[in-house]
Every structure is written in C-alpha cells, then in structure tokens.
C-alpha cells in the first residue's frame, strides 16, 4: 500500500511528521475488515494458549486455583482441546505454535516518524514489524544538526529521493523514513516544515 503522510503542528515550536503504509480505514468495509482481522488474531492467539495450557494442565493447574479448571477441561470444547494436545507431537506443536504466534503478532505495516522540537532537536522513529518490540528511535540534539537535506540515490534501477540529517562529526547522514522512502513531494513538505520549526522564529 502506498505510504501517506500525516503532518501535525501541536505548537509553534513543535512539528510531527508521520509516514505510514497502514490502511486508513476510512470506509465502512475497511473498518469492518480491520476489526475482523483483530478478532481472528485474538481467537488464534487464545487457541494456541489453550492448547499449551491443556497439554500441561496436570502440572500447572491445581484444584485450589480460583478458576475451576476441572470444569473447563471437562466441557466439550475442553475435552476436544485436551484430546488434541495429548495426541500431538510436542516438538512439532511447539514449532508450529511459535510460527503461528509470530504471524499473529506481526503488524503488517510500517510507520516512521520525525519529531522536531525547536531548541532541543529532532527524534526519528521506525516502528517494529511485531507488536512484541518497541520502535527504534534516535534523538539528535540541535547542536549536532549541521543540516537537513534531500538527496537522491539509486535503488535497483530507479532513482529514489530521501530525507537526511547531516550530523556533526559523523561520516554518514541519518536517513529519515529509511524503510518507506516516501516520494519527493512528501519529502519536500517534511523538509520545509522541519526547517521552519527548527530555524524560523517567525509565526
């Protein structure tokens, strides 16, 4: 999905630019698909946990627990889960569960942002592909920012533009939005907005 840019200016000295290839969910079918996707993910996640809970039910779940586990495992669904857990190969089930959980926890989109604060600096952020990990961020103080520029480079057989921060004392520039690489028009909007926020004191 093509990346879209969201620009925010919460104050005259702060600007935020976010590029994302996630669906915007503007239409009703898109919203329904989004919620259905999360529902399916939740059911699969709960199913995997229930499978392993049933496999080790005699070890970790005692009769003194607040949850009536004996009632849970004796229900039709509990009996089915216990039968599948007891007859499955543990090594195969463990590998399959890890792969399923990894797929369930994948975001399926990338989100990158640039936060500009006059007098302090800028912070770049790239989201993690999984819900398990935090976004990768870096803060560059204003005193270390030499310039913010738009460069061009070859990616495969095409020319791509990218926004870069020239940092004092570093041999390489810091690329903003390195994974999504939005088009030149979006980069120019971010470039103008970030330089205005950093250097222009006029309203």
Domain edges within the chain: 4-22+114-200, 28-105
Distance CA(109)–CA(116), nearest Å, equals 23
Distance CA(40)–CA(23), nearest Å, equals 18
Q: Residues of the chain with pLDDT > 90: what percent?
A: 47
For residue range 126-138, list pLDDT tens digits in order.
999 888 888 999 9
pTM of the model: 0.76
State the pLDDT at residue 17: 96
For residue range 111-126, list pLDDT tens digits in order.
999 999 999 999 999 9
Q: What is the mean pLDDT of residues 53-72?
A: 75
Mean pLDDT of the residues in the chain: 88
Query: What is the pLDDT confidence band of residue 64, given thresholds at 50, 70 and 90?
Result: low
- For tokens 């089930």, name the residue: 93
Residues 6+ apart with CB under 8 A from 31: 25
pLDDT at 201 over 60: no
């Amino acid at each position: 999905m093509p990346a879209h840019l969201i620009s925010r200016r919460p104050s005259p000295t702060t600007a935020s630019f976010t590029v994302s290839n996630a669906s915007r969910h503007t239409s009703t079918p898109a919203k329904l698909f989004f919620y259905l996707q999360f529902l399916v993910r939740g059911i699969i996640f709960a199913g995997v946990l229930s499978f392993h809970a049933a496999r080790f039910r005699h070890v970790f779940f005692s009769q003194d627990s607040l949850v009536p586990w004996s009632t849970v495992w004796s229900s039709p669904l509990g009996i089915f889960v216990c039968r599948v857990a007891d007859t499955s190969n543990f090594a195969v089930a463990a590998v399959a569960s890890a792969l399923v959980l990894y797929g369930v926890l994948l975001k399926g989109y990338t989100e990158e942002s640039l936060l500009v604060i006059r007098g302090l600096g800028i912070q770049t952020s790239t989201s993690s592909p999984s819900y398990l990990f935090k976004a990768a961020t870096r803060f560059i103080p204003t005193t270390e920012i030499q310039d913010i520029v738009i460069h061009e480079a070859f990616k495969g057989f095409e020319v791509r533009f990218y926004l870069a921060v020239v940092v004092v004392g570093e041999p390489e520039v810091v690329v903003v939005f390195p994974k999504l690489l939005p088009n030149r028009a979006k980069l120019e909007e971010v470039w103008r907005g970030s330089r205005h926020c950093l250097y222009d004191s006029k309203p």
